[in-house]
Copies of this chain bind each other. A is one copy, B any other.
Amino acid sequence: MATTLIARYQVQPGKAELVENALRRMAEAVRADEPACLLYNANVAVDDPNLFCLYEVYEDDDAVIAHRETPHFQEIIEGVIVPVLVRRERELFRRAVA
């Protein structure tokens, strides 16, 4: 069964555009380099332009671990996005229905 990761990023005021552009680059890198990532979406809350919610589906748990070890994760997520976050949350699921 596929592994789903839901991540929430509460972004510092004024940094939403920077984060959205970085996530767009991230999605392109994931698509190019991570065939075991089945889905990579980023959403912005309707009632809070500074709240991002990522929905990521991987073939298995190993692919989630591998994702975090990629150069683009280190460069874009840890290097560009994390420094402008107020809060970061992460939940793991098994995808039951698709």
A41 is contacted by which of B40, B42, B57, B91 (Cβ under 8 Å)?
B57
CB pair B95–A41 under 8 Å, yes or no, is yes
CB distance from A66 to the nearest CB of B (A): 18
Binds B, one of A20-28, A67-75, A77-85: A20-28
Contact of A27 among B26, B91, B98 (CB under 8 A): B98
By the criterion CB–CB under 8 Å, are B46 and A92 in contact? yes
A97 part of interface (Cβ distance < 8 Å): yes
Query: 29 pairs across A/B with beta carbons < 8 Å?
Result: A4-B41, A4-B43, A4-B53, A6-B6, A6-B43, A6-B53, A6-B55, A20-B96, A23-B97, A24-B97, A27-B97, A39-B39, A40-B98, A41-B95, A41-B97, A42-B96, A43-B93, A43-B95, A43-B96, A44-B93, A44-B94, A45-B91, A45-B92, A45-B93, A46-B92, A46-B93, A47-B92, A53-B91, A53-B93
* A interface, CB within 8 angstroms of B: 4, 6, 20, 23-24, 26-27, 39-47, 52-53, 55, 57, 91-98
